[in-house]
A and B are shown apart, each in its own frame.
Chain A
Amino acid sequence: MARTGPTSTARRTLLWLAAIIIACTLAVGGGVLAGATTWAPKLGLDLEGGTQMILAPKVEGAGNITSEQLDQAVSIIRQRVDGSGVSEAQISTEGGRNVVVSMPGKPTDEERDLIKASANMSFRPVIATTGVASGAVAEADRTAEANLPVPTAAPVDASDINWVDAALFKEFEATSCIAPLTDRPTTSDPAKPIVSCEPETGVKYILGPVEIPGKWIKNATYGLAAGANGATTNQWSVNLTLEKPEGADAFKAVTQRLNSKYLINANDPQARFAIVLDDSVISAPSSMAVITDGQSSITGQFTEASAKSLADKLKFGSLPISFEIQSEVQISATLGLQQLEMGLLAGLIGLLLVVVYSLFQYRALGIVTILSLVIAGVLTYLAIVLLGWAENYRLSLAGVAGIIVAIGQTADSFIVYFERVRDELRDGRGLVAAVENGWGRAKRTILASKAVNILASLVLYFVSVGSVKGFAFTLGLTAVADLIVVFMFTHPTLQLLARTKFFGEGHAFSGLDPKQLGAIPLYRGAGRLRTQQETLEVVKGKNARAAGEAERRQTIAERRLAAKESQMAGTSAAKAAQPESSDDSKENN
């Protein structure tokens, strides 16, 4: 029988859809059991409450900022925010220009200043170091008050031990550079010595005043170091260029002083200078030569990645980027919750109205609409939860609005489809044929119109800033969910329903009653077919134009089929389900 084909395909498609939904649900369920995610979607700040700052980078003097510099800026802000103990802060770039910092709760004034401040890079000479990863000295073992160092004279240079006074030494002993870390300031007076840590190694330092400020760094690159004979070695190095003349001159003086100590004792900590970013040491090389031309290279235990990282930091440090707050929103949890509740309420009312309208317009067919909407909703929900888990996607209020707006646009696919089926019924086709033909036409329209929707959401997503992004994202997501539902649920379901008695015989409440649609069907069940006589009567009758239209729209194949069927009246008529496209319809002149 011809009818087993579409039926089994429809069943198989529905099973596939069920399999997809079950697989996604199981994935989320597994994530919940493993404690990796929750059943509820992750909420954005505007719904959960919290602070969102949108920062625009500002480069002193120079104009534009490259995306690499912006990425560096973001990683530095991230270090600062993480270091200050704010949990769950999200930092991202937006549109290649702005940095968005989102965090739950409210940042303190210090935290805000920290985020806004420009990167603070400088070179300071090492005065003393523990040499190994060090925590705080135990209270009992700390140097007694009486034995604390007292400067004997004014310091003569930046490496002078006379910078270390009692207070600084006490701070040095109390500071821990290994977990639990001591909270330390990230900006300090460049003219004074500081206690600092090297986060990568946990080594603790006392550093002298700033000798080379970051702005004197002209460029930094990395590559394989050249050996004594000029041949390339397989050791990675970072090549540093300083601004002339001031940077180069100052560096010459520093390296002269440090190198003389290095020549006496290669392990003298005072032969080293520290590269300091936000008061943390990122590297502390020894001065192995006097650098007279401002061109130096730093070698050591670098891998390619660590050499690149140091070069990037040096380069970034040379650009004093600070941030201007473009917009700062502190949303109270109460308002967020209120908005979420209202948003959901609005969605529910909207959904209910659509349901009522569909039932009114399409009767029993409206139930297919409702089920389709429910499935689209389930798919959207699963996608949002999964994206929240995998990509940390957070649903914002604009996103919720996007979903509500999508209810209407999703339902429209069904309307386009159902109206096409009705048109086919009006042409006098049987329901099974009408569903197949209607689908063939509706499919094209739905694909073309959804392409417009998806195009719009893609453009909005990639071009826009702020809350527009969240909105565009859900709008695109629901458009995709809609396509899945129309293809994998609505159409197969209708294919199956068309073969039921209720719909197939065009019950008055099925929404597909040919009588109400003003058509006389080709095939009227129970093996009865429209006779030639009836066809003529129809043409003469009230629906003359409808029938004419139907005839005009028949394909050659259909016409032949109709002719054959009228000869073989009484045999199966389900063959009328011939796919038709407008391109092959011929005029019946």
Chain B
Amino acid sequence: MKSFATFGNELYTGERSYEFVGKRKVWFGIMGILVLLSILFPLLGGGFNFGIDFRGGSQFTISDVAHKDVSIGEKAVEAAAPGTVAVVTNIAGMTMQVQTDRLSDNDTLKVKDALKEAYGVTEDHITSTYVGPSWGQDVSRQAIIGFIVFVLLATVLMALYFRTWRMSIAAVVGLLVVMVVTAGVYGASNFEVTPSAIIGFLTILSYSLYDTVVVFDKIRENTADITKSTRRTFAEEVNLAVNQTLVRSINTMMVAVLPVGSILFIGALLLGAGTLRDLSLALFIGIIVSTFSTIFVAAPLYSWLREREPELAAQAKKVRQHRATAAAATADAV
């Protein structure tokens, strides 16, 4: 604790400083590679593993089964709807999941009854889902519309609040990196993309920008009177702001990730596939990537977008002159 507080103090004063802005080429390079991998992996690995809601089909979840035998389920499906391929899995504990190709909604109910008989459970232990072929498209189309509308509105909101569109641009680029990398992890790990995962993605949108706004607000504060200062260059002030909010970034990430992690843990371990697991998985990855993206992409990018403005370049020159004079003065004194 004490060391963490000291760490915070040193970051605040600038005594300890990480070169988030100065070494931006390195960070951009690493992020660029990550983004590239995130695009390449799903492409080479055969794309995303879309869940039943996107493919269309039927899914059954049977709770508290007597036997975890997979063949029971396969036989029951074959008997109820001949020629249907069924994937039967034991998702967690005594819970079985059966997925089939598109059955008609009537056949779905027939298979449901057959599975109920086969596993010897009562009506209130079996859940069936029938998804028409266009439902997933509906969900994803709406999600994409939501994404675009949100990004546009948030860009305007941030531009108005910060009074510079460059912060909006930097924040949105940071956001895109988060989306691509999170999607890449999904593609690479072959996790199923379900509507719940989409909800998770949409939440990351909100979280990522939220995180960036907090850091940018500090940058705005530190650089408010930059042209009148000879203490630090613009890039240095940005870097100081990121360092000063680093403790907050770490604490926020921890506090956000802890509940999500517990949903992920419970969802994956005790419930198996389902809303909780899919949602929290996307969030878990997204929150961590968001924190890094704000620090390593959005903030350095903002600095890069602004520091070549003539006024700021002149200020940077002034700072360097000032330092040279100060150094010379010290040297004289010695």
Contacts and interface: CB of A to CB of B under 8 A. Distances in A.
Nearest to A450: B210
A328 B2 CA distance: 56
Contacts of A453: 206, 210
Contacts of A350: 258-263
Interface stretch (A29-37, A154-162, A458-466, A486-494): A458-466
B124 A332 contact: yes
A585 B231 CA distance: 15
A35 B31 CA distance: 58
A327 B131 contact: yes
A478 B274 CA distance: 23
A358 B61 CA distance: 39
Contacts of B32: none
B214 A416 contact: yes
A585 B53 CA distance: 56
Given A346-B265, A346-B276, A518 B255 contact: no
Contacts of A330: 112, 126-129
Q: Which of B106, B230, B262 has the most CB of A within 10 A?
A: B262
Contact of A49 (B124, B228, B262): B124
B255 A449 contact: no
Interface string A343-373: 1011101110110011011010000000000
A466 B139 contact: yes
Interface residues of B, number: 97
B221 interface: yes
A203 interface: no
Contacts of A334: 63-64, 124-125
A453 B205 CA distance: 9
A557 interface: no
Interface in B189-246: 195-196, 198-199, 202-203, 205-207, 209-210, 213-214, 217-218, 220-221, 224-225, 228-231, 244-245
B27 interface: no
A10 to B, nearest CB: 24
A195 interface: no
Interface string A560-589: 000000000000000000000011011101
Interface stretch (A60-68, A226-234, A252-260, A419-427): A419-427
Contacts of B86: none
Contacts of A455: 150, 153-154, 157, 206
Contact of A465 (B8, B139, B196): B139
A545 B14 contact: yes
A445 B265 CA distance: 32
B280 A328 contact: no
A445 B142 contact: no
Contacts of A419: 8, 245, 247-248, 251
Interface string B13-36: 111000000000000000000000
Contacts of A445: 213-214, 217-218
B210 A452 contact: yes
A8 interface: no
A349 B266 contact: yes
A328 B130 contact: yes
Interface in B275-305: 275-276, 279-280, 283, 287
Nearest to B64: A334
Contact of A546 (B5, B12, B142, B228): B12
B81 to A, nearest CB: 16
Interface in B104-126: 105-106, 108-109, 112, 123-126
Contact of A517 (B5, B131, B287): B5
Given A445-B213, A585-B225, A463 B149 contact: yes
A329 B270 contact: no
Most buried by B among A333, A419, A582: A419
Which of B138, B206, B266, B271: most chain A Cβ within 10 A? B206
A342 B276 contact: yes
B146 A326 contact: no
B39 interface: no
Contact of A398 (B1, B210, B231, B279): B279
A350 B258 CA distance: 6
Interface stretch (A11-19, A72-80, A403-411): A403-411
Contacts of A585: 224-225
Given A401-B275, A518-B9, A456 B202 contact: yes
A463 B265 contact: no
A187 B5 CA distance: 75
Contacts of A54: 135
Contacts of B159: none
B199 A468 contact: yes
Given A397-B276, A401-B276, A444 B217 contact: yes
A465 B207 CA distance: 21
Nearest to B258: A353
A324 interface: yes
B263 A56 contact: no
A398 B275 contact: yes
B252 interface: yes
B174 to A, nearest CB: 13
B203 A471 contact: yes
- Among A98, A583, A587, the most chain B Cβ lie within 10 Å of the Cβ of A587
A351 B255 CA distance: 9
B6 interface: yes
B279 A401 contact: yes
B286 to A, nearest CB: 11
Contact of B134 (A56, A441, A466, A587): A56
Contact of A329 (B130, B150, B161): B130
B12 A332 contact: no
A109 B112 CA distance: 14
A452 B196 contact: no
A78 B92 CA distance: 39
Nearest to A513: B5
A412 B109 CA distance: 46
A98 B139 CA distance: 12
A178 interface: no
Contact of A353 (B112, B138, B245, B262): B262
Contact of B267 (A49, A98, A346): A346
A326 B206 contact: no
Interface string A298-332: 00000000000000000000000000111111111
Contact of A448 (B217, B247, B265): B217
B298 to A, nearest CB: 13
Contact of B224 (A328, A354, A582): A582
A56 B217 CA distance: 45
A374 interface: no
A415 B2 contact: no
A399 to B, nearest CB: 10
Contacts of B287: 408
A358 B5 contact: no
A587 B5 CA distance: 28
Nearest to B138: A465
A326 B132 contact: yes
A546 B202 contact: no
Contact of A441 (B4, B154, B221): B221
A468 B157 CA distance: 23
B312 interface: no
Contact of B127 (A331, A409, A475): A331
B203 A459 contact: no
Nearest to B274: A339
A243 B23 CA distance: 76
11 contacts: A325-B130, A327-B132, A346-B267, A354-B258, A397-B276, A408-B252, A466-B139, A467-B275, A468-B143, A582-B220, A586-B228
6 nearest A-B residue pairs (beta carbon) = A350-B259, A408-B256, A456-B206, A518-B9, A353-B258, A463-B146
